[in-house]
Amino acid sequence: MKSLVIVESPAKAKTINKFLGKDFVVKSSVGHVRDLPEGRLGIDVVNGFAPDYGIMKGKEKVVRELKATAKKSDRIYLCPDPDREGEAIAWHIAEEIGGKKRDNIFRVTFNEITRSAVQQAMEHPGTINMDLVEAQQARRVLDRLVGYNLSPLLWRKVRRGLSAGRVQSVAVRMVVDREREIAAFKPEEYWTITARLDGGLPPEFEARLARHQGKKITLPDAETVRKALAEIRAADAFVLSKVERKERRRNPVAPFTTSKLQQEAARKLGFQAKKTMMVAQQLYEGIELGAEGSVGLITYMRTDSVRVAAEAQDEARQYVTEKFGKDYLPSKPPVYASKKGAQEAHEAVRPSSVHRDPEAVKPFLSRDQQRLYALIWNRFISSQMAPAKLEQTTFHIDSGDYTFRTTGTVVRFPGFMTIYTEGQDDQDEEKEAQLPGLEQGARLKLLGLQEKQHFTQPPPRYSEATLVKELEEKGIGRPSTYASIISTIQARKYVEKKEGRFLPTELGTVVNDLLVEHFAKIMDYDFTARMEEELDAVEDGKMKWVSVVRDFYDPFNMDLEKATDIKRVRPEDKPTDILCEQCGKPMVERWGRHGRFIACTGYPECTNTKPMENGKPVLAPQATNEVCDKCGKPMVLRSGRYGQFLACSGYPDCRSTRPLPTGVKCPEDGGDIIERKSRGGRTFYSCANFPKCRFTLWNRPVPEPCPKCGAPFLLEKKLKSGLVRECHDKSCGYRQELGGEGASESPQDTDEG
């Protein structure tokens, strides 16, 4: 008889099938096969929160086939993923197909899907870990108790169709709280004074005023600035009083955990967390590599450990020595510390073999697969390389009682930075200065003094990367759940993404405020984090799952009983300056099932309404001078889901549309540069002749010629300091700051996007 191997994914089954001989049959469960019932709670709260599992709708045929094959098999190997969810899938399958004979069912786990890893794991099968199963069961029961009790309450008190979740609702609170921080923020004025100097050796450089009479200086207003400038000009001398040169070592960062992978893929690739996990799953389960067949290219991608197997480190060290030389190899393999509570049985996310470098496998991968694999491969190799050696030079420049300061960094030995440096969140795109080789005592020529007004900035809205980072730091959810959390709160329309940043919808704010007021405990960050720690304790066999659920449910149920008396809540109507064209009465913004809309105050006598898009009423189409290139009729300006666009006035006979042009022509083929939206909601600009022309920009083009080199347009950026315009041609270096009084123009290197 043959042995049956069961995995949860068809792609995984296909890869593993090639590694095992003719004595094995590999089948896929296509994910979970059992779950709590639809339409009812399915949990016996009185009798130990016993869950009532049943075969999931649509999985009956899969289960029948698994049972039939199991009866004809002498041994059964359950091989779902090596985590809570995978263990639960294995247990549910065993419950369905095992019957009375359970001694021929084995649990097998492997961290990577390669021939050697799979064959070695099959030679050492184990049993199902019930601690892991019960940890997953506790999470599932907790989420069902919250969802099935809170959602009906929201239906009654806010509107039909709403839902709540134990972890997702807390994530919404984070976004709402950040938005309120931003709204409550009071900007404070401050100024800077920058001197442009020449030391007789190239290049010229800038230094910022830092001290007065040896103490740190603050410039709170224009009067203080005027006084300082007068005294500096009166001194009429700039002397390089001190040169500090420090050797610094920059160490590489650890290989990826799940959360770090999601953050970095968001920063560098623009991937949503959900997309990152989907592509990583493909790389893990197996990619067809020509004659080599299907191979898993990375280790398991749901992990909070930075541990690396000794064999993988040895392979990486050999590669680094051969590729870069011994100088790039540390004397000992680096050891990175995982965060508290990490599952050290797992490894970090790394390539299954460093010899499959990104270029070697590129022909077999999609663009997204190749980019993510390159990110994982580069991060891992760099983590095993020597630190970079940097020389940081700081100039202290005295002018009377005032001291200016500037810093520049030179890379003396790149080390790991040869192939990888970690991305940063919410940083101004400004580079450190390039400084001339001057010595202490050098007299400097003043080329100009620039004063500039600034205002302190509120905390930024969360991006995909910073929201994942904050969830991890607060202990909300677990890395394996971040992607679904972020997807769910957007799907429920509690949170939306604009320009790559999350902000709460009006609906999300209303629901959040109701839950925070009446269910303060389950909406508390610390309480939610403690629940995650208790679920981890169940996984480690240190707590019983029923006691964890009971400790949560009893106070939650008390809050639920009190909440039956709360009043119905809904956003208030907002006045507008629009008059109803049917009856002449004022119109207001009103709240409905699908969000805000414009309605006549004469209701119910007058039922005139108008839809809203992007917070603005959708009014009648406006005439333009544009002509339809398909039928020749005039084009009109319409509003849609993604803003305004041009549409043919001959609709519905002619359905021609096109985006609004920016007024800038493409430098490659002369087409119009138009505004577009990425799948993640981020605005970018590209040639209207896409896909024939793939010219794109992340910053808004402005139809103004560069005053320095004459280039036909400038780029406009939003930095923390305000708006900046710069030349599209990087070699030109023209830059104009628009962030307040004292706007400056300076030729310096900048990054385009």
DSSP string across 629-658 = TTT-PEEEEEEETTEEEEEETTTTT---EE
Note the pLDDT of residue 340.
73
Task: Determine contact, residues 621/638, Cβ cutoff 8 Å.
Answer: yes
Note the pLDDT of residue 416.
96
Nearest residue to 83 via CA among 351, 299, 290: 299
> What is the band of 499 on the pLDDT scale with cuts at 50, 70, 90?
confident
Residue 454 is given by DSSP the state E
Three-state DSSP state, 669: coil
Other CB atoms within 10 A of residue 584 CB: 10
Residue 647 resides in a domain: no
d(C-alpha 310, C-alpha 35), whole Å: 39
Note the pLDDT of residue 146.
95
Helices (DSSP H) in 72-210: which residue ranges?
84-97, 115-122, 130-157, 168-184
* Number of domains into which the chain is organized: 5
Note the pLDDT of residue 175.
98
Is 477 in the same domain as 593?
A: no
Is 265 in the same domain as 242?
A: no
Query: Out of 8-12, 59-63, 97-101, which region has the weakest mean confidence (pLDDT)?
Result: 97-101
Task: Determine contact, residues 685/674, Cβ cutoff 8 Å.
Answer: yes
Burial class (CB in 10 A: 0-12, 13-18, 19+), 260: buried
Is 377 in the same domain as 274?
A: yes
Is 301 in the same domain as 410?
A: no
Is 124 in the same domain as 70?
A: yes
Note the pLDDT of residue 619.
67
Find the domain containing 175 and state its range: 137-185+460-565
For the CA atoms of the chain, what is the radius of gyration?
Answer: 31
Rounded to two decimals, what is the model's pTM?
A: 0.80
Is 400 in the same domain as 303?
A: no
d(C-alpha 370, C-alpha 738), whole Å: 39
Q: How far is CA 422 from the centre of its chain?
A: 14
Task: Determine contact, residues 222/191, Cβ cutoff 8 Å.
Answer: yes
pLDDT tens-digit series, residues 276-302: 999 999 999 999 999 889 999 999 999
Note the pLDDT of residue 357.
95
Residue 674 resides in a domain: no
Whether 300 is catalytic: yes
Note the pLDDT of residue 180.
97
Q: State the average pLDDT over residues 391-409.
A: 96
Burial class (CB in 10 A: 0-12, 13-18, 19+), 367: exposed
Pairing of strands 3-7, 24-28: parallel
Handedness of CA 214, 217, 223, 229 (dihedral sign): positive
d(C-alpha 127, C-alpha 115), whole Å: 22
Note the pLDDT of residue 427.
56
Note the pLDDT of residue 50.
97
- The DSSP result for 278-289, as a single string, is HHHHHHHH-EE-
Residues 37-51 as b or e (16 or more Cβ within 10 Å = b): eeeebbbeeeeebeb
Which residues on neighbouring strands pair with residue 209, listed in sequence order?
404
Residue 624 resides in a domain: no
Pairing of strands 189-198, 54-55: unpaired
CA dihedral angle for residue 110, residue 111, residue 113, residue 116, rounded to 10 degrees? -70
Q: Which CATH number is 504's domain given?
A: 1.10.460.10
Note the pLDDT of residue 680.
63
Residue 262 resides in a domain: yes
Q: State the average pLDDT over residues 191-211.
A: 96
Q: Which H/E stretch holds residue 190?
A: strand 189-198
Q: Which CATH number is 282's domain given?
A: 1.10.290.10
Is 518 in the same domain as 475?
A: yes
Question: Which residue shows structure tokens 């603050």?
Answer: 218
Q: Catalytic residue among 53, 77, 300, 553, which?
A: 300
Query: Out of 2-6, 21-25, 204-208, 675-679, which region has the weakest mean confidence (pLDDT)?
Result: 675-679
Is 19 in the same domain as 120?
A: yes
pLDDT tens-digit series, residues 471-497: 999 999 998 899 999 999 999 999 999
Which residues on neighbouring strands pair with residue 592, listed in sequence order?
595
> What is the band of 741 on the pLDDT scale with cuts at 50, 70, 90?
very low
Is 67 in the same domain as 114?
A: yes
Is 266 in the same domain as 360?
A: yes
Note the pLDDT of residue 740.
41
- 744 pLDDT higher than 50: no
Q: State the average pLDDT over residues 379-398.
A: 96
Note the pLDDT of residue 404.
98
d(C-alpha 736, C-alpha 746), whole Å: 7
Q: State the average pLDDT over residues 539-564.
A: 94
Note the pLDDT of residue 743.
35
Residue 629 resides in a domain: no
pLDDT tens-digit series, residues 431-486: 567 899 999 999 999 999 999 999 999 999 999 999 999 999 999 999 889 999 99
Q: State the average pLDDT over residues 591-596.
A: 75
Is 21 in the same domain as 116?
A: yes
Note the pLDDT of residue 641.
58
Three-state DSSP state, 205: strand
Task: Determine contact, residues 282/294, Cβ cutoff 8 Å.
Answer: no
**Residues in CB range of 273: below 8 A, 6 or more apart:** 262, 265, 266, 464, 468, 482, 483, 486, 487
Query: Out of 337-341, 546-550, 668-672, which region has the weakest mean confidence (pLDDT)?
Result: 337-341
